[in-house]
Amino acid sequence: MNEWYKEDLAYIHDVGHSDYALKSAPGILEILAQNNIRAGLVVDLGCGSGLSASALTNAQYQVLGVDISESLIAIARTRVPNAEFRVESLFKFDIPFCNAVISIGECLNYLFDSDNGCQTLGQLFKRIYNALAPSGMFIFDIAEPGQVIEGNRIKSFAEGEDWIVLVEKEEDQEKSILSRRIITLRKVEEYYRRDDEVHYLQLYKATDIIEELRQIGFHVRRMSSYGQYKLPNAHTAFVAWKSI
Ligand SMILES: C[S@@+](CC[C@H](N)C(=O)[O-])C[C@H]1O[C@@H](n2cnc3c(N)ncnc32)[C@H](O)[C@@H]1O
C-alpha cells in the first residue's frame, strides 16, 4: 500500500492537483440532491486526500473513503476528522449498504492493484449495485483511450512554492494502457528531495463501460462535465442508478 502516491506525491497531489475534486464537487452534490439523496452514507472509492469527502460531509452526508495510498489517507483523516477512511484496494473493499458510491478522478483506471482489469471492473460494478439502496447512485469517471497521440511521448511539468513535478506520458494504443512516469522534487529544509513513481492506467471506452453497467441492471447517463466543471480531454463521467 506504500508504493503509490507516497508521501511527496501525495502532498503534491493534494496541494497542486486539487482542482478536479474541488470543481467537480458542486456538480456531484447537485446530482445527489436532484435524485433525492440528501443524507446517509456515501462511499468514496479512491478518495485521495479527502477533498470530495470534505464537500460531502459539509453537505451533511456520512462518508466512508477508501484509498490504496497510506499517505493520502493520512491527509484525508486530518482534513475530514468526521469521516471514516480505510487504506485498502477499492477492488477488494467490502462495500457496505449505502445511498451512493462515488469515484472521482479516474481511480478505476489505475493498475496499482495487480487484480485490476476488465473482469475485476465488472465484478466491482456488481458489488456496487448490490451494496446500493434502492434508487441509490453510482457517480464516477474514467480515462479513455486517446490521452496521448499515437507515437508521441508528452513531457510536462508543474510547480508550486515548495515542489516541482515532472511527468512523462506514453500510451500503448494496442493494449490501451497509459503510462505516467512521475518525478517529484519537494523542498525539505534547504534541499529538494527527489522521488519517482510510475503509474499504469488501463484506458476504457465509455461505450463498453455503459454496456457493462446496463447488463448489471443500472440505468446510465454519460456526461462530459460534473455541473460546470468540464472534464479533461478523453475523460467521461457516468451517473448510474439502481431503479427498483
Ligand atoms: C487521480 S487520484 C484522485 C483522488 C481523489 N478522488 C481526488 O479526486 O482528489 C486517483 C486515486 O485513486 C487511488 N487508487 C488507484 N487505484 C486504487 C485502488 N486499487 N484502490 C484504492 N485506491 C486506488 C489513488 O491512490 C489515488 O488517490
Which domain CATH number covers 223?
Answer: 3.40.50.150
The CA 107 to ligand 1 mean position distance, Å, reads 4
| Same domain flag for 159 and 215 | no
| Closest residue to atom 5 of ligand 1, CA basis | 48
47 lines ligand 1 (CB under 6 A): yes
Residue 243 is predicted with a pLDDT of 78
| Same domain flag for 68 and 98 | yes
For residue 119, name the pLDDT band (cuts at 50, 70, 90).
confident
| Same domain flag for 166 and 192 | yes
| Same domain flag for 192 and 213 | no
The CA 101 to ligand 1 mean position distance, Å, reads 14
CATH code at position 169: 2.20.25.110
At 90-105, the pLDDT tens digits run: 999 999 999 999 999 9
| Residue (of 16, 100, 112) closest to 61 by Cα position | 100
- What are the Cα distances from residue 213, in Å, to 19, 128, 220? 28, 10, 7
Mean per-residue pLDDT of the chain: 96
- Report the percentage of the chain scoring pLDDT > 90: 93
The cell numbers describing 220, all together, are 446510465
| Same domain flag for 108 and 170 | no
Q: Which of 1, 4, 110 to mutate to test the pocket of ligand 1 (most atoms within 8 A of CB)?
A: 110
Residue 56 is predicted with a pLDDT of 98
**38-47, 111-120, 174-183, 227-236: which range is least confident on average?**
111-120
Atom of ligand 1 nearest to the CA of 91: 19
Q: Is 1 within the bounds of a domain?
A: no
Widest CA span in the chain: 60
pLDDT, mean of residues 1-27: 95
Residue 1 is predicted with a pLDDT of 54
| Residue (of 185, 164, 199) closest to 46 by Cα position | 199
The cell numbers describing 61, all together, are 452526508
Domain containing 37: what range? 7-144+203-241
pLDDT, mean of residues 24-29: 98
pLDDT, mean of residues 154-163: 97
The single-letter code of the amino acid at 115 is D
Q: How far apart are CA 145 and CA 106, in angstroms?
A: 12
- Report the percentage of the chain scoring pLDDT > 70: 99
pLDDT, mean of residues 146-165: 94
